[in-house]
Structure 1
């Protein structure tokens, strides 16, 4: 049985509300309901009595409660004990675009300036990344949207302007040549206002690296990160068709305010300082 089922059970007990439990666990309400249902199937009994305005434990739920608390506490103690026995390490999670824009350079910096640390890097969705940050599975989070939580320090480490670039010799703008990178709703609205004919792109992706590979092999046009001088960061000879005025992409670095791991706060400060000296180029 997945231990997360028990942590979900405990959160529902604490909040007496499936919706609030889902919000605290960064899950959908349907996911919380599904976990409780699987837990009830596992024990072959109902754990909650569901009323319109309240959720109460059944007798079986009351009996399970101390065991669930004990199991979760024991596993958390085991995690802490094992971490103390292992070498220094840090877990870095990133959303897809943040990974494409900053992760490789950041890893190079960490390997150079924090070479005594072992690093684990993962690419996750924003919801998954936020949840793992709160669960202390991830030490640092890189994202192109701020992590909205009072428990998290969220610092913008770089902001990059965007522009519509063409790698083709012809000047015609057509959807059959357009590679659409998901830069967010504002960039999409800007593009659709000026070029509604680009609604049907030949490729839509949330990966900048996939877009760059496609453009390198097939040519085309796309909204891409732009240097202050108006050149594409990834294709210096690409032709700028139009700057995406007032809209760019920002990469945020986040960590828990209450992180007690020794050295993590110093690393957070060092990363912020490094990014100020090393803009994306």
Structure 2
């Protein structure tokens, strides 16, 4: 059984509300409901009485609760002890765009500054990034969107302007047939659709800058890209800046928990925060 099923059960029992439990665990409400259902199937019993505006523990749920709390506490203690004994590693998580924009340079910085530390890096969705950070599975997280949590420190490491570019010898018209849409966030998308409503559709949509640049290099087209993108493309590729994205910039954030428990990790976090 996944220990996360028990932590979800404990949170629902505490809040008596699936929606609040989902918010506290950085999950969707459907994910919470699915975990509780699987837990009920595992124990062959009903754990909650679900009524309108009221969720109560059944007798089986009341009996399970102290065991769930004890088991979770024991496993957390074991996890912390194992982390202390093998503390010479750091786990980094990043969303797709952040991994392409900043993570390679950051890994080089960590390897050169802390040669005795091993580094593990993963590309995650924003929801998984937040969850793993709060569960202390991940030590440092990087994303192009802020994390809203009172338990997390977030700092802007990188900020660049964005602009609409034409890559290659494509048509002078700006239409969806040539448009490569990169997910820079709601503000950039709102600006684009206001300035160029015909770009509501696209020939390609992606959350990967590298994939977008490869496609633009081979097929040409228009896309919202970081300024000075010509430095990332071969010199023979024609790059034309059409218009700057107004009042919107690309930001890459670094996130870490405010309470740092592992020995030596605070020094790494401080080093990363001042590296750029």
Matched, 1:254 2:270: no
Match runs of 1:135-214 below 5 Å: 135-169=135-169, 170-214=171-215
Q: How far 1:87 sits from its partner (Å)? A: 4.9
Q: Match for residue 279 of structure 1?
A: none
48-57 or 14-23, which deviates more: 48-57
Q: How far 1:149 sits from its partner (Å)? A: 0.5
166-175 or 3-12, which deviates more: 166-175
Question: How many residues are paired up?
Answer: 272
In 2, Cα distance between equivalents of 1:12 and 1:254: 27
Evaluate the alpha carbon distance shift between residue 240 and residue 18 of structure 1 in structure 2; reply closer, same or farther with a 3 A threshold.
same
Evaluate the alpha carbon distance shift between residue 53 and residue 190 of structure 1 in structure 2; reply closer, same or farther with a 3 A threshold.
closer
In 1, Cα distance between equivalents of 2:139 and 2:87: 15
Relative to the length of structure 2, the TM-score reads: 0.93
Q: How far 1:50 sits from its partner (Å)? A: 2.4
Relative to the length of structure 1, the TM-score reads: 0.92
Matched, 1:15 2:15: yes
Q: How far 1:233 sits from its partner (Å)? A: 4.4
Q: Match for residue 278 of structure 1?
A: none
Q: For 1:206-225, what per-residue CA distance to the aligned partner results, in whole angstroms no more than 9, with x for missing partners?
A: 11111011112222221111
Question: Is the CA contact (8 Å cut-off) linking 1:92 and 1:139 kept in structure 2?
Answer: yes
Unaligned runs of 5+ in 2: none
In 2, Cα distance between equivalents of 1:233 and 1:199: 28
In 2, Cα distance between equivalents of 1:222 and 1:207: 12
SS at match of 2:232: coil
Q: Match for residue 71 of structure 2?
A: 71
After TM superposition, which residue ranges in structure 1, 4 or more long, deviate above 3 angstroms? Answer: none
Question: Is the CA contact (8 Å cut-off) linking 1:97 and 1:206 kept in structure 2?
Answer: yes
Question: Is the CA contact (8 Å cut-off) linking 2:158 and 2:251 kept in structure 1?
Answer: yes
SS at match of 2:155: strand
In 1, Cα distance between equivalents of 2:87 and 2:151: 27
Unaligned runs of 5+ in 1: 276-281
Question: Is the CA contact (8 Å cut-off) linking 1:226 and 1:233 kept in structure 2?
Answer: no
In 2, Cα distance between equivalents of 1:262 and 1:244: 43
